[in-house]
């Protein structure tokens, strides 16, 4: 049988704890490929090119859009963010679980294009107040950027019913366990396209 | 927060390997309660009352139906099978994962009554021929009963699109891993009823 990977999309407002959660999950799952997005925004303190993002100029990003190199892209808070198609295809053909950390717009586009392979989860803090507090404690964004992020979170939360699962990240251990369960199920779910084959095997005899 | 369990329903034709799979899964999950069905059929060689089933007379079963003691019940191959409501309620209130091994009729009834809590999986052999072979190898049923089981399987397989997941049990290790992933996700899924609460926390401020 042909090897076919699966896709796990993780979304949620900046500050909800996605990165920390993901670090926990990587210890417990195998054979995954984390999709690194390309962006035109400036690296934050401690972020590295090729690890957190691929950092490129607006000109380069726009050139790649024209060439159809992106599976999905969007402009958020005045910066471009996108996912290059080529490494995703390669990882999927090797049977890997491809993990995306993208926003609700990206989720909708990837789901539309690769629905059979996608499992998705939306991660939140319990309340907006707690998100605000975490963003101030993180101390990486200006007051203006935080305000933009909160506006954005308020919008994004309305879309979370489009996701397969959601996690309220109020307890790191519990939330990690839930995300591991979701990552494991993503591969099982990705086999749903085999249903037709099974039905044929069973009913045409 | 109130403790609330979850329900995992497992269905699939006799001979697909459910019991062996479940034994494997029990080693890897915790805090579950396996729902023991009540039946009027004769115990098979090696089966024990209170372990495999509760074996009762037709009169007793019909009395319990009248008293509304069953969450679901059905007559299959001329015998009654049913699930008593009381132990299920108790296990759920303790936050346990309640596992049912019931048929497609039972699945539909439980889903209708307790939809928010249910995750379901249909287990099959790769083909009907292989099921027939396994039933003959098991050597516990007469030729007539096997023929009935195969007819039944042919009918049941048509319903498997109503299930959340399916497993083709052609490799015990792989199938066990998949069933464990499904058992773990059942608890996450059972929290979907909390969605409304989260939306309120986020949008009314």
pLDDT for B159 equals: 83
* Partner-chain contact A201 B154, CB within 8 Å: no
- How is residue B86 written in tokens? 């009381």
Residue among A127, A161, A195 whose CB faces B166 most closely = A195
Q: For a pLDDT cut of 90, what percent of chain B falls above it?
A: 53
Number of domains in chain B: 1
Name B15's Cβ contacts closer than 8 Å, sequence gap at least 6.
B125, B131, B134, B135, B138, B149, B153
Predicted structure pTM score: 0.80
Looking at the domain assignment, is residue B109 inside a domain? yes
Distance CA B132, CA B143 (A): 10
Please, what is the angle between helix A172-189 and helix A18-26, to 10°?
A: 70
Looking at the domain assignment, is residue A20 inside a domain? yes
- For chain A, say whether B161 makes contact (Cβ under 8 Å): yes
Residues of the domain holding A125: 6-203
Looking at the domain assignment, is residue B1 inside a domain? no
Looking at the domain assignment, is residue A152 inside a domain? yes
Q: What's the mean pLDDT when you consider all of chain A?
A: 88
* Partner-chain contact A202 B157, CB within 8 Å: yes
Nearest to B163 by CA among B132, B146, B186, B184: B186
- Tell me the per-residue pLDDT of B102-131, one tens digit each, with 9 for 90 and over: 989 899 999 999 988 999 999 999 888 899
* Partner-chain contact A178 B188, CB within 8 Å: yes
Would you call A142 helix, strand, or coil by DSSP? coil
Residue length, chain B? 205
Task: Answer whether residue A170 shows pLDDT above 60.
Answer: yes
Task: Answer whether residue B204 shows pLDDT above 80.
Answer: no
Does ipTM exceed 0.90?
Answer: no
- For chain A, say whether B194 makes contact (Cβ under 8 Å): yes
Looking at the domain assignment, is residue A146 inside a domain? yes
Within 10 angstroms of residue A15's Cβ, the number of other Cβ atoms is 22
Task: Answer whether residue A154 shows pLDDT above 50.
Answer: yes
Using CA coordinates, name the residue in chain A closest to B123.
A198
CB pairs under 8 A between A and B: 82
Nearest to A118 by CA among A176, A180, A182: A182
Task: Answer whether residue A41 shows pLDDT above 50.
Answer: yes
- Tell me the per-residue pLDDT of A2-32, one tens digit each, with 9 for 90 and over: 568 999 999 999 888 898 999 888 888 889 9
Task: Answer whether residue B3 shows pLDDT above 90.
Answer: no
Q: What is the CATH number of the domain that holds B69?
A: 3.40.50.300
A1 membership: H or E segment, kind and range:
none
Q: How far apart, in Å, do the first and last CA atoms of chain A sit? A: 21
Looking at the domain assignment, is residue A95 inside a domain? yes
Nearest to B80 by CA among B93, B95, B96, B69: B69
> Mutate which of B127, B187, B188 to test chain A, going by most A C-beta atoms within 10 A?
B188
User: A160 contacts in B (CB within 8 Å)?
Assistant: 195, 198
User: B178 contacts in A (CB within 8 Å)?
Assistant: 188
Looking at the domain assignment, is residue A165 inside a domain? yes
* Partner-chain contact A185 B185, CB within 8 Å: yes
Looking at the domain assignment, is residue A1 inside a domain? no
> Mutate which of B198, B203, B204, B205 to test chain A, going by most A C-beta atoms within 10 A?
B198
Calculate how close chain B gets to A197, using CA atoms only, in Å: 10
Distance CA A147, CA A84 (A): 29
A5 membership: H or E segment, kind and range:
none
Calculate how close chain A gets to B164, using CA atoms only, in Å: 9
pLDDT for B195 equals: 66
Task: Answer whether residue B203 shows pLDDT above 80.
Answer: no
Task: Answer whether residue A42 shows pLDDT above 90.
Answer: yes
């Amino acid at each position: 049988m042909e090897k076919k990977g699966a896709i796990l999309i993780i979304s949620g407002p900046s500050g909800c704890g996605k990165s920390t959660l993901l670090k926990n999950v990587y210890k417990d799952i195998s054979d995954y490929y984390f999709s690194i997005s390309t962006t035109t925004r400036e690296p934050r303190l401690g972020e590295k090119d090729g690890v957190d993002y691929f950092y490129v100029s607006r000109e380069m990003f726009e050139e790649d859009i024209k060439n159809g190199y992106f599976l999905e892209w969007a402009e958020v808070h005045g910066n471009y963010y996108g996912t290059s198609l080529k490494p995703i295809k390669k990882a999927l053909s090797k049977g890997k679980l491809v993990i995306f950390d993208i926003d609700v717009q990206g989720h909708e586009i990837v789901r539309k294009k690769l629905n059979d392979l996608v499992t998705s989860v939306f991660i939140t803090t319990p309340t907006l107040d707690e998100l605000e507090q975490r963003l101030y404690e993180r101390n990486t964004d200006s007051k203006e950027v935080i305000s933009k992020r909160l506006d954005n979170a308020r919008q994004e939360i309305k879309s979370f019913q489009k996701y397969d699962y959601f996690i309220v990240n109020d307890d790191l251990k519990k939330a990690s366990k839930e995300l591991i369960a979701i990552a494991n199920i993503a591969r099982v779910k990705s086999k749903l396209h085999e249903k037709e084959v099974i039905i044929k095997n069973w009913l045409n005899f």
